[in-house]
Amino acid sequence: MFKNEKLNGLAVLALIAAAGWLASVLPIYYMDLLTKLMIFAVLALSLQLVLGTVGLVSLVNASLYGIGAYTVVMMQAEWAVNSPVLLAAAAVFTAMVAGLVVGALSIRTREVYFIMVTLAFAQMFYHVAHDTAFFGGSDGLYLSGPLEIRLPGAGVLDLADPPVIYVLSLLTLAGCWGFCRILLASRFGCALVGIGVNEQRMRAAGFRTYWYKLAVFTIAAGMSGLAGFLLMAKNGVITPEALSWHQSAIILLMVILGGVGRLWSAVLGAAVYVALEEALSSHHVVGALADHWLLLFGITIVVLVAALPNGVAGLLMNRKAG
């Protein structure tokens, strides 16, 4: 679990960077698509961090992502905060606080009960945002102005500008992946993997497993909040649908498609998901069947999961071993 991460992870990031260079000479649509992929990849990494180590199947990650996005727009609207650095830090902090609360209650349960508790929290967050005028109700909230970075001698960079948000998303993804690598290589990370393999034995060895799981859950929540900041910088709008458990299920699907247990496979799973969604909903690819793309998508996912029980990464590793 989490082996050969350095070379494989760098290869994935190199491919994304190369695709970004190609996107720079192609229509903006492709750069926007790659940016969407990278934001999803950060979310998939956050779930992989808890699922691939201690085996926590969470359905609340999207809610934490949404909380980070709502924090950005509300701080700009209510307190006139326009510094991207402060807004990103606030999104991470708020998501981590929410993750700490959710984790403190849900981690006391196990297996399917943990899943149900996180699902209940996801629904609660969704309905608070959807049914409360303070959060914009079903219409959501919009940024009152662009998020900008002022660089000495380089003018002003608008984060909504496709090349700028692309580079920012790539750097964020690389930073999150590097952080996860360092974390998993530490004593703390080794303890997490040990808990995932045999929690009872780790308890017998003197590890307080509850606090380890709560810590990694909170850290993953912060990564989700950072993805929420990227979403606001890119789109400038957040709606309650982003907080629903359905979105968390999509993140879980990305991890499963890529393969559980490898950081780089979370990025690969996000790429597979985005590619399938775009291809199957395009009339240029599947013709009139694009009007029923969700049906095609569902069938494709069933076939992929059945044929690749270890995900796309498992297939690649098997070929490499062969």
220 domain-assigned: yes
Cβ-proximal residues to 132 (8 Å cutoff; 6+ apart), any chain: none
115 domain-assigned: yes
321 domain-assigned: no
69 domain-assigned: yes
90 domain-assigned: yes
Cα separation, 51 vs 117, whole angstroms: 16
321 burial type by CB count under 10 A (0-12 exposed, 13-18 middle, 19+ buried): exposed
Is the CB of residue 60 less than 8 Å from the CB of residue 122?
Answer: yes
16 domain-assigned: yes
Number of domains comprising the chain: 1
Q: Note the pTM of the prediction, 2 decimals.
A: 0.91
304 domain-assigned: no
Tell me what pLDDT residue 110 has.
Answer: 86
Which residue segment(s) compose the domain that 9 sits in?
A: 5-244
243 burial type by CB count under 10 A (0-12 exposed, 13-18 middle, 19+ buried): buried
Tell me what pLDDT residue 250 has.
Answer: 94
Residues of the chain with pLDDT under 70: 1-13, 15-17, 19-20, 22-24, 153-154, 318-322
Write phi, then psi, for 282 (nearest 5 degrees).
-100, 125
256 domain-assigned: no
Residues facing 156 on adjacent strands: 150
* 158 membership: H or E segment, kind and range: strand 155-158
